[in-house]
Amino acid sequence: MNDYERVARIIRYLDAHSDEQPGLDVLAAEAGLSEAHFHRLFSRWAGVTPKDFLQCLTAENARKRLRRGESVLDAALGAGLSSPGRLHDLCVTLEAASPGEIKSGGAGWEIVAGFAETPFGPCCIGNGPRGLCHLAFVETEDHRDIEAAWPRARFRWSDAAAREMAAGIFQTGAGTPWKAFVRATPFQLRVWRALLRIPPGAVVSYGHLARAIGSPQASRAVGSAVGANPLAYLIPCHRVIRETGIIGQYRWGQDRKQALLAYEWSAS
């Protein structure tokens, strides 16, 4: 069991027992570790103590941030900000495939792809001639999603290359520019580019996001576009929550969404 899996297990426990405000002894026992070992592991992973982390997961925390979310997003959009990542600044240039490129399915391409560990569990990463084209958290080494997205591409599988890409995205260090290339409708592209401008530690609702892109009646369509995001973490769809402040679902698991948000909130 890796560090993320241990933390995810504790997040699930906290979801079920948050009203009890479990102490360090209870959480350590649930993780199967001594109190000292658990405290060190958790603090190293999250940057805060388990007690502070628990406070980051409360619905009230989300509601407060959501109430500030529209102005935060508007300010970011107005300033033309690119996306700063939680671990370090990430400048993402997002380009979309043309209809012809989508129809070709990646014919003539070589996509370098593989599996790598991240602070939030294992992922599959793919990089093609036009940029990063796939980033998904996975439970097993399953190729099907990336191969379905680019069915006529030639894949060169290299976990070493994937680990190098993951290090550039997730590890602490200097700001890293990333060029991303996605299959997208014009509407999806507008939504994903807006997501790139939500600062870490901020959350917005689907309604706020719809208004920010000039489509105030399109909350449901915005939700569909958010759910279709092909680049986990890099395009931060985890920063979109429900109007009520409830965290809501996530393509790569609700536990992981809570872990991503709490990790960002702990540093904001």
CATH of the domain at 254: 1.10.10.10
According to DSSP, the residues that pair with 19 across neighbouring strands are: none
If asked whether residues 51 and 68 sit together in one domain, one would say: no
If asked whether residues 49 and 118 sit together in one domain, one would say: no
Minimum mean pLDDT among 54-63, 123-132, 230-239, 252-261: which range? 54-63
Q: Could you tell me if 183 and 98 are in contact, meaning their C-beta atoms sit under 8 angstroms apart?
A: no
Q: Which of 56, 124, 133, 237 is catalytic?
A: 237
The model's pLDDT over 137-180, given as tens digits with 9 standing for 90+, comes to: 998 888 889 999 999 999 999 999 999 999 888 875 445 678 99
If asked whether residues 217 and 138 sit together in one domain, one would say: yes
Residues in contact with 41: Cβ distance below 8 Å, sequence separation at least 6, in sequence order = 3, 6, 31, 33
**Domain membership of residue 32 as a residue range:** 3-56
Query: Of the residues 36, 56, 76, which one is the last residue of a structural domain?
Result: 56
If asked whether residues 52 and 68 sit together in one domain, one would say: no
If asked whether residues 229 and 139 sit together in one domain, one would say: yes
DSSP one-letter code for 175: -
Mean pLDDT of 187-206: 89
Q: What is the pLDDT of residue 254?
A: 86
Q: Is 133 a catalytic residue?
A: no
If asked whether residues 148 and 245 sit together in one domain, one would say: yes
If asked whether residues 142 and 21 sit together in one domain, one would say: no
If asked whether residues 15 and 52 sit together in one domain, one would say: yes
DSSP one-letter code for 84: B
Element (H, E) at 116: strand 110-118
Tally of domains within the chain: 2
If asked whether residues 46 and 78 sit together in one domain, one would say: no
Mean pLDDT of 84-110: 78
The highest-confidence range among 110-114, 210-214, 246-250, by mean pLDDT, is 110-114
The model's pLDDT over 28-62, given as tens digits with 9 standing for 90+, comes to: 998 888 999 988 887 777 666 777 777 666 666 66
